Structure 1
């Protein structure tokens, strides 16, 4: 049975980008994270993406934002093995579950391929993913050149795109990746992040989850425990330092209090009040130790999670372990995922 989420996971905003190559997905991911191509995702101008699923993380707007960029997961030119691997990577990188699936669309282009991408993820993750689905339009400069707002443009669309906007409950916005004014672009990104945060609040702070994401998280926790055992001596020494510091501070303060209380003995009421304050101060010292212990635990948990996310991108053996576990769950479901992975 897994324990509750770590505090650092609660502060994360996990976003999965979906969309076709050329939609501006990787560039939008970099904009969300405030990163350039040297530190973020690399855009590929070719018709077919050549990079596997990856993730990047940055602290933005008071949140730790983790973006997972998917590639070709609904591309029929990929082998079943490649599709399976990328899907498992996506599920595991965003464990314990994404807060948002962001469909990146280039304005004035919504083809059968984009429709298939949405259908693919809906078939895999189920209808509930629509509760966490957002549409992010790129190429906003095209509308600006025509002096047309995004809302005005969408008022006149019909067919599948109109249906998509309705299915995601009107959660759409746009980023102009060619915007030269940093303040304007930052405002566009913040609007998206605020929309996602608002939707998280709407769902009582929860993220999207299925049995598959729960299983992936369980495997991540198992791997974390192995890493933790490897670093157990380091954790023990860190706690010993905290314990030693606390004992020394506690003993020093007790000696000071004995001297101070001697001065208050002439005033019994004053002495009683002073002793209560002393008791509170000693309790604060002990509480500080517990808080320091928790920070140590969080620090090592965060470090382990970061190491695991790196392994997910680079180590096929760990993906295989997670894949087998997820398959065992998916195999029990009447679900398209069963046919994909078995």
Structure 2
């Protein structure tokens, strides 16, 4: 028994040593900030990379960061790349612009970030904050929380002598979020705590603690960054574009310039593809419903009862599903919308291959969907 326990201890020690070596070998640490407008992502970035002018800031409820930005600095012999993203529910710009910049943040952190910082203010945890967290998970995936730290700003709002963990415990939903992030949470105050050097209410102390937490988190994750199929695809696309740009530059561009141009090319290509797919989804949904209505009219003429009609229509929209007499028209339309949208996305994705502009992608996607409209609902007129 003792021999088995010693063997287990040795195995754990080897794993810990390997993880530490992997962590220490990570020279480029990529950190992505996520949060709503006005939470202080840019100011926090300036604090972390120790450059007060790296990101433009102002004390306002309006968003200063409208485009995804990044800044790199060497801190304690480690290169830290901080990616500052526009706020979710941004006060300026359209949803399309926000999606474009979120895509840009994905490109800038490829092949993946080592840490996500979910920034929240020390204040009441509202439904809006909950929605932001949901949006983060929708964008990057549920597993992203294994690489996340909740960082609170406006720490001076804490009660006298109160710690951030005590503040979190007062709200079960907030505690649940922190638990999903492995219990990792810290606090800063970019207005009042910059001048203090010692004690809990000091940005220097808190940032050191935050970086130690990130280091331990990276170690716990095997020394690697967070990645998924999307990030890997982006990374491959950037590598391919870098080869093209490097060949065309004839040695006249630096590695950083080549990377920047490659990232911009990939961003443009993906935005064009997204525009085409979005067009396909919308047209596909519309055409799916159109063909469903056509089918309904024909079957209603021939059917003696709503029950018979419901079974026929439901079977057409949801093949193989159990059919109940209570099937509603809304459910059938939803089925047609989903089926049409998926088909439209597939057609558009193929149609816009090689297109260089958003307008061109929209036109090609629309043309392709209209040419193949008979495929959006099989029992067509």
1:211 aligns with 2:224: no
Residue 162 of structure 1 is matched in structure 2 by 175
The 3-state SS of whatever aligns with 2:112 is coil
User: Aligned residue pairs: how many?
Assistant: 255
How far has the Cα of 1:149 moved from its partner? 2.1
Give ranges in structure 1 of 5+ residues lacking alignment: 1-8, 235-299
Q: How many Å separate the matches in 1 of 2:66 and 2:251? A: 38
Q: CA RMSD in A?
A: 3.2
Q: How many Å separate the matches in 2 of 1:229 and 1:41? A: 35
How far has the Cα of 1:170 moved from its partner? 0.4
Q: 1:325 to 1:60 in 2, by over 3 A?
A: farther
Q: How many Å separate the matches in 2 of 1:128 and 1:219? A: 23
TM-score, scaled to structure 1: 0.65
Within a 5 Å distance, the mapping from 1:80-119 to structure 2 comes to: 80-119=95-134
Q: How many Å separate the matches in 2 of 1:182 and 1:311? A: 42
Q: 1:19 to 1:212 in 2, by over 3 A?
A: same
Q: How many Å separate the matches in 2 of 1:150 and 1:25? A: 18
Give ranges in structure 2 of 5+ residues lacking alignment: 1-24, 281-337, 350-381
Does structure 1 retain, via aligned residues, the 8 Å contact 2:238–2:266? no
1:189 aligns with 2:204: no
Q: How many Å separate the matches in 2 of 1:215 and 1:93? A: 13
1:150 aligns with 2:164: yes
Does structure 2 retain, via aligned residues, the 8 Å contact 1:212–1:329? no
Q: 1:30 to 1:226 in 2, by over 3 A?
A: same
The 3-state SS of whatever aligns with 2:177 is helix
Does structure 1 retain, via aligned residues, the 8 Å contact 2:114–2:218? yes
Q: 1:139 to 1:84 in 2, by over 3 A?
A: closer
Does structure 2 retain, via aligned residues, the 8 Å contact 1:16–1:101? yes
Q: 1:33 to 1:77 in 2, by over 3 A?
A: closer
Q: How many Å separate the matches in 2 of 1:76 and 1:50? A: 10
Q: How many Å separate the matches in 2 of 1:153 and 1:102? A: 18
Does structure 2 retain, via aligned residues, the 8 Å contact 1:140–1:176? yes
The 3-state SS of whatever aligns with 2:72 is strand
Q: How many Å separate the matches in 2 of 1:226 and 1:64? A: 27
How far has the Cα of 1:75 moved from its partner? 4.4
Does structure 2 retain, via aligned residues, the 8 Å contact 1:22–1:47? yes
